[in-house]
Amino acid sequence: MSLRWQPALLDPAMGGGWAVVHCQQGFLCDANGVLFPRDWLKRLDLPLLSEQGLGFFDGDQVFLMELAHPVEVPGAGWQGLRQFMMHDDDTERFRMLGFAAQISTWASHHRFCGSCGNPMRQHATERAMQCESCGIHHYPRISPSMIVLVTRGDELLLARSPRFAPGVYSTLAGFVEPGESVEQCVRREVHEEVGVSIHEPQYICSQGWPFPHSLMLGFHAEYASGEIVMQPEEIEDAGWFSIHDLPALPAHKSIARYLIDLYLARRLGRTEPMLPG
Ligand SMILES: NC(=O)c1ccc[n+]([C@@H]2O[C@H](COP(=O)([O-])OP(=O)(O)OC[C@H]3O[C@@H](n4cnc5c(N)ncnc54)[C@H](O)[C@@H]3O)[C@@H](O)[C@H]2O)c1
Ligand SMILES: [Mg+2]
Ligand SMILES: [Zn+2]
């Protein structure tokens, strides 16, 4: 299957092509979508912070134009990446926007060298920012994170963070620490967040999660021992939920929901879900 979205290193000094326009408010979009003719955009007086070559969508060159602040463009508006994820069924377009958002975050956070403080510039042959003075490279930042569904027969251990939409319960998640294996991270995070011990976690699948730069590594683990003790800052509520009486769950496009739906399908003999993206 050929994918409509293919990342590639394109030189932003080249003219032509299409561009996605991004700022802290999200992406510019109009009735035709998120791709605008780049030469047309260049004629508008946009507060351009930087440009990056992103890759090819449907075979056409796509660049990122990063703005310092949102501007009014007649007939167009700004939409956040989460809205595209929730309301857009074009997964290839979401993959492109997720990539663009991660490149945008990384590039705008690496305008100056963290080592010597001088300006950074784009590397000519790699997706990297390079210091003009000391030569140090910074590659796009990806943060590995584990996400795990803990089960006990017909019961799922689900929890809610204060950041979640009201009523929604999800699987446990957390960032991998330096020097730790993902499996060690799963056991540590489960113990920190809800105080229980688990049997050896089984890897299921992964999902790139551009909010802002996580790589979710999804696991299933069977409960081993312990009572639920919630970590006060991270977990607002946690409990065992019967597969026949579940609370509101995360969005279908998340790996959290996939892990839950996969377990339900296997337990109840239903068709297995498809991992989104
Ligand atoms: N796709 C999904 O289904 C799904 C579901 C749940 C969580 N997530 C993502 O998983 C990631 C981790 O989940 P969490 O928020 O529960 O993490 P967590 O339990 O490790 O705690 C979050 C806290 O970690 C710290 N932190 C932030 N960025 C960090 C980094 N890069 N490295 C180390 N620590 C950092 C902050 O103090 C933050 O409040 C987040 O990006 C979240 O958006 C994705
Ligand atoms: Mg967590
Ligand atoms: Zn430097």
HEC string for 89-147: CCHHHHHHHHHHHHHHHHHHCCCECCCCCCEEEECCCCCCEEECCCCCEECCCCEEEEE
What's the CATH fold of domain 5-108? Nucleoside Triphosphate Pyrophosphohydrolase (3.90.79)
* Cα gap 178→28, rounded to integer Å: 37
pLDDT by 10s per residue, the chain, length 277: 568 999 999 999 999 999 999 999 999 999 999 999 999 999 999 999 999 999 999 999 999 999 999 999 999 999 999 999 988 888 899 999 999 999 999 999 999 999 999 999 999 999 999 999 999 999 999 999 999 999 999 999 999 999 999 999 999 999 999 999 999 999 999 999 999 999 999 999 999 999 999 999 999 999 999 999 999 999 999 999 999 999 999 999 999 999 999 999 999 999 999 987 7
* Cα gap 210→2, rounded to integer Å: 22
Ligand number nearest to the C-alpha of 147: 1
Provide the whole-model pTM.
0.94
Ligand number nearest to the C-alpha of 275: 1
Class of domain 143-268: alpha beta
Residue with tokens 């409960």: 223
* Cα gap 154→242, rounded to integer Å: 6
HEC string for 246-269: CCECCCCCCHHHHHHHHHHHHHHC
Q: Please list the residue range(s) of the chain that carry CATH number 3.90.79.10.
A: 143-268
Q: Which residues contact 48 (CB under 8 A, 6 or more apart)?
A: 65, 66, 67, 68
Q: Is 113 flagged in the annotation as binding? A: yes
The strand pairing partners of 205, in sequence order, are 218
Phi and psi, residue 129, nearest 5°:
-100, 140
Distance 71 CA to ligand 1 centre (A): 31
**What residues does ligand 1 touch, defined as CB less than 6 Å away?**
143, 145, 147, 170, 173-175, 207, 209, 211, 214, 216, 234, 250, 254-256
